[in-house]
A and B are shown apart, each in its own frame.
Chain A
Amino acid sequence: MSNVSTRFWNPLFARLWFVFNRNRISWIGVVLLLILVSLAVLAPVISPYNPVEQHVMDQFRGPSAKYWLGTDEYGRDLFTRIVWGARISLTVGTVSVILGMIIGSILGMYAGYKGGVRDEFIMRVMDVFMSIPTLLMGLFVVAVLGPSTMNLIIAIALTVVPRFARIARAPTVSIKERDYIEACRAMGFSDLRIMLVHVLPNILGDIMVMGSLWVATAVRIEASLSFIGLGVPPPTPTWGGMVREGFEKMLDSPGASIYPGIFILLTVFAFNLIGDGLRDVIDPRLRES
C-alpha cells in the first residue's frame, strides 16, 4: 500500500506546484488560508487580551488602538476572540470534512465499483443518514457522547459522509466501464489497486472541489450547533457563535457580528479558490494544452 501512495502522490504534488503556478488566482486562496491558519496558530502570541477576559467599562466599543476591532456586549476584545475562534472553527471545519470525505469517498467508490447488493446496501444506508437533519444528528451525537469539540466533529462528519459517498459513487460507476479499467484488469491489477490508482485520481477532482465547499458549510454548521448549545459551549469563542451572539445586538454594535462573519466569508472564499485550483491540478482534461 505504501508503494501505491508514494508513486501516486509524488507526481500529483509536482502537478500541484505546476498548475498552481499557472493558475495564480488559486494562490490567493492559499495565501488567504495561510494567513488564517497562522492567525489561529499564533493566537496566544498575537492576541492582546485573553479571549474570555471581560472589560465591563468598554462594552460595544468600535475599533480603536486599544481594541483593534472593538468589543462585544461583555467588553471582550473582538480581535482576540476572532483569532482564538479561528482555532476551533478551522479545526472543526477541516477535520470534520476530511474525516467525512475519506469515509464517504471510500464507501461510495467501493459501492460504485462493486455494484450489485453491496452497492444497494451502502447507498440505502447513506440515504438514511442523508435524511437526518444536521441539527438532529448533532443532538443525537451529543446526547450519546456528550458535548465537546471532538463530538461536534463526529456529528458534522456523519452528515458529510453520505454527500461524499454520492459524489464518489456516480463517476466511479461510469469509470469502471472505461477501456482503461478493462486494460488494468488485463494487466492483472487487483481491484484495490484499480480503485486507488486508476479510479481515485479520476474522481478526486470532484471530491476535492466538493470538499472545499463543504469546509465552508461545516464552519456554518459548527456555528449553528454551537449556538444551540450542542457545540463548543460558551464562553470559548468560535466564529459562528460570535456571529450569533452579536446578532442579538446587531443595531447597537454591528461589528460584533460582522467581523467574525467576514472571517467566515474569507475562509469560504479561500477554500473555494483552492478547490478550483485543485480541480485543475487533478483533471488535466480541463487544462489547455
Chain B
Amino acid sequence: MNQEHLLEVRNLTTAFRIQGNLFPAVRGIDLHLDRNETLALVGESGCGKSITALSIMRLIPQPPGEIVSGEVFMKGIDLLTLPEERMRKIRGNKMAMIFQEPMTSLNPVLTVGFQIMEALIYHQDVTNVKAKELAIEIMNQVKIPSASRRFKDYPHQFSGGQRQRVMIAMALACRPEIILADEPTTALDVTIQAQILYLLAELKREYSMAMIFITHNLGIVASIADRVAVMYGGEIVEVAPVGDLFEKPRHPYTEMLLRAVPRVDLNIEKLSYIPGQVPSIDRMPPGCHYAPRCDLRMELCDRQDADLVPLPGEPAHRVRCWIRGDSREIQDKP
C-alpha cells in the first residue's frame, strides 16, 4: 500500500439505515494526510464532516450506521479491517479526537486530572505516579494555570475555554500521531477561539502531529490549514492547498461559500448566501449533489455526478464538477 501518507482514506462510504433502507451519509471519500500537515474539512452542517472523522476512528454507532465500503490506511495498515481489540489500542493512543462540546465531553464526577491521566494508564504502561507527573506536564502545556493544584478539581469548576484545554490535554496525553479535531472551537467565545487555535497549532508543531480539523468557519481554515477539503452532501467537492482554494476556488459551491463570508473591511449592504439547503441523506439528487442550488447547473449535472479529478497542471487541486469552476469551458466537457 501507499506508504507515503500517514493517513489515507480511499473510497470511504458510510451509510445509515433509515426505515430499512441504507442511505449513504458520506460517499466515496478520498483523502490523505501527511506528517505535520493540517487538513481542514469544511462544509455546512450535515455535509458529512463529522461522519467522515467518526468513520476513520470507527466510532460510527452500529446500527443504524454502517461503513459500506472503503479503506482507511494508517501507515499502511487498514484500520477498517482491524479487529476491535487492536483498533482500541489505536484510538486515543495513535489517533485521538477532540470534540466540539467541552461542556459535556468531560465526565462530571471524575477529577480533571484523573481523566487526563486515564488514557496514559490505559494505553501506555506507566505507573500512577508517572502518569500524574505527565498529566500535570500536559496541563501546563495546554496552559491551565496552576496545573498541579487544579489536578484534583472537577469539570464544573472549569470555564468552557479551560475545559476545551482539558479536552486537548486528554487527546494529546499519549502523544498521538493524528489528531481529529471536530469543531473544537465552535462552542467557545471568539477571543477564546483564537487562543485555542493558537494553542493547537503550537502543540501540533511541538509534537509533530498531523491534524484533520473540522470546521465550518473559513476564517479558521485560512489561519490554521495547510490543505482544505470542501465537503457537500456527503462528498468531497474540492481539495486544494489553502492558498489556491482561497485565491481560485474552482467548484461553484466553494466559490459561493467564500463569497458568503461576511467582510468587515467592505461596506456591504446585504450579506450573500447560498439559497436552499443541504438535502437530507434520504433525498440526495441522483446527479451532482449541489446541482439544485448551483447557478451554473447544466442538464448533465442532474443526471450524473462528476468525479473528483485534478485540475490540469495542478495535481494537488482536485474538483468534483463537470464545469470545473469555469463556465466558459462547458462546450468541451462530456
Contact = CB atoms under 8 A, between A and B. Distances in A.
Contacts of B196: none
B119 interface: yes
Question: How large, as a class, is the contact surface on chain A?
Answer: 20 to 34
A226 to B, nearest CB: 39
A186 B91 contact: yes
A98 to B, nearest CB: 22
A177 B18 CA distance: 20
Interface stretch (B104-112, B197-205, B292-300): B104-112
A59 interface: no
Interface stretch (B92-100, B141-149, B206-214, B215-223): B92-100
Contacts of A11: 111, 114, 152
A182 B99 CA distance: 9
A285 B114 contact: no
Nearest to A116: B63
Given A7-B121, A179-B104, A197-B118, A187 B110 contact: no
B106 A180 contact: yes
Contacts of B106: 180, 183
A193 B91 CA distance: 15
B45 interface: no
Residue of B90, B92, B152, B154 with highest tally of chain A CB at under 10 A:
B92
A216 B250 CA distance: 74
A184 B91 CA distance: 10
Contact of A179 (B87, B105, B114, B128): B105
A284 B119 contact: no
Contact of A190 (B57, B88, B167): B88
Nearest to B84: A190
B156 A284 contact: yes
Nearest to A284: B154
Contacts of A197: 110, 118
Given A179-B105, A202-B107, A189 B99 contact: no
B89 interface: yes
B59 interface: yes
A279 to B, nearest CB: 12
B96 to A, nearest CB: 7
B305 interface: no
B170 interface: yes
A75 interface: no
Given A7-B114, A11-B114, A193-B122, A186 B104 contact: no
Question: How large, as a class, is the contact surface on chain B?
Answer: 20 to 34
Contact of B119 (A185, A187, A198): A187
Main secondary structure of the interface of A (DSSP, over half): helix
B128 A7 contact: yes
B114 A186 contact: no
Given A178-B104, A179-B104, A284-B108, A186 B92 contact: yes
B101 interface: yes
Given A7-B128, A179-B101, A201 B90 contact: no
A185 B111 contact: no
Nearest to B167: A183
Contacts of B122: 187-189, 193
Interface in A162-185: 178-180, 182-185
Contacts of A3: 121
B93 A188 contact: yes
B89 A188 contact: yes
B123 interface: yes
A282 interface: yes
Contacts of B57: 186
Contacts of A285: 108, 156
A189 B123 CA distance: 9
A288 to B, nearest CB: 11
A180 B118 CA distance: 13
Contacts of B167: 183
A184 B122 CA distance: 11
A185 B101 CA distance: 15
A252 interface: no
A201 B59 contact: no
A283 interface: yes
A188 B90 contact: yes
A253 to B, nearest CB: 51
Contact of B59 (A182, A190, A282, A284): A182
Interface string B55-92: 00101000000000000000000000000000111111
Contacts of B104: 178-180
A284 to B, nearest CB: 5
Contacts of A182: 59, 99, 105
A131 B96 CA distance: 47
A6 to B, nearest CB: 8
Interface string A51-74: 000000000000000000000000
Contacts of B110: 197-198, 201
A185 B59 contact: yes
Residue of B57, B89, B91 with highest tally of chain A CB at under 10 A:
B91
17 contacts: A3-B121, A7-B128, A180-B106, A180-B107, A182-B105, A184-B107, A186-B96, A186-B97, A187-B96, A187-B119, A188-B87, A188-B89, A188-B123, A190-B88, A197-B110, A201-B107, A283-B109
Shortest 10 CB-CB contacts between residues of A and residues of B: A188-B91, A187-B92, A188-B92, A179-B104, A186-B97, A188-B88, A179-B105, A201-B109, A180-B107, A183-B105
